[in-house]
Amino acid sequence: MRLNKLVVFGAERFSSLAWYCLTVDSSFEVVAFTVDRAFLKTTLHHGLPVVPFEELAKHYPPGSVRLMIPLGYRAINGLRRQRYETARKQGYEFVTYISSRAIVWPDLTVGQNCLVYEGSIIQPFARIGDNVIIRSGSHISHHCHVADHVFVAAGVTLGGNVLIGEQSFVGVGAVLRDGLIIAERSFIGAGAVVVTDTEADGVYVGNPARKVEKSALEASGGH
């Protein structure tokens, strides 16, 4: 039987946005939130219980609910990746949400624990991996491949046949020329216009985008 009940990771703005979209624009029922015990500041969020992630299996065991982990790009998406992989090892299944206001094709290949927000366009032959967030108004052109654990911010434009490597972040309004290879853990700044391939863990800003002397981990608030 298909599980419609789910728990959302987080109790702040990203989780609130996911909760709202899932509640008004999907068949899923959010029944609770979960956070790391060290960040448990309240026992209720949007009128629903908040439980420690370390005790999630006791309250909502695998097989009784599915999960959504809508965390942002902190630590170049490393935090979201860690929580996703931990929950998967515990046996949880995940929800993928594609807004009814997004423009996608019936044969879209998209992984688990993904969010595709309103106004996004994903063209034919594009592929989206696991644990990916695509914010509103982004354009993912034909034959693009967005690998696992990527965050694509609002208003991003990808030309055709772009590969975005694992754990990369693409900032608000960035433009990526067709045919590029964006290396794993790249950090593309807001408004950047990328016209050449990138290097792993690099930070790229400006028009045309240039690499700066900072690591992607530093740029994304990691440690």
pLDDT band at 221 (very low <50, low <70, confident <90, very high): confident
In this prediction, residues 91-97 reach a mean pLDDT of 97
The percent of residues in the chain predicted with pLDDT above 70, rounded, is: 99
Average pLDDT over residues 176-197: 98
- Is a pLDDT exceeding 60 seen at residue 142? yes
- Estimate the share of the chain in helix, then strand, then coil, as percent rounded to the nearest 5: 15, 30, 55
Helix (H), strand (E) counts: the chain: 4, 23
pLDDT of 222 above 90: no
Mean pLDDT, rounded, for 185-209: 98
Cβ pair 194, 175 in contact under 8 A: yes
> What value does the mean pLDDT of the chain take?
96
Could you tell me the pLDDT band of residue 2, with boundaries at 50, 70 and 90? low
Tell me how long the chain is. Answer: 223
* Start-to-end CA span in the chain (Å): 42
Task: For residue range 27-55, list pLDDT tens digits in order.
Answer: 999 999 999 999 999 999 999 999 999 99
pLDDT number for residue 1: 44
> What is the CATH T-level fold of the domain 97-223, as seen in this structure?
UDP N-Acetylglucosamine Acyltransferase; domain 1 (2.160.10)
- 113-128 per-position pLDDT tens digit: 999 999 999 999 999 9
The reported pTM is 0.96
Task: Find the mean pLDDT for residues 88-106.
Answer: 97
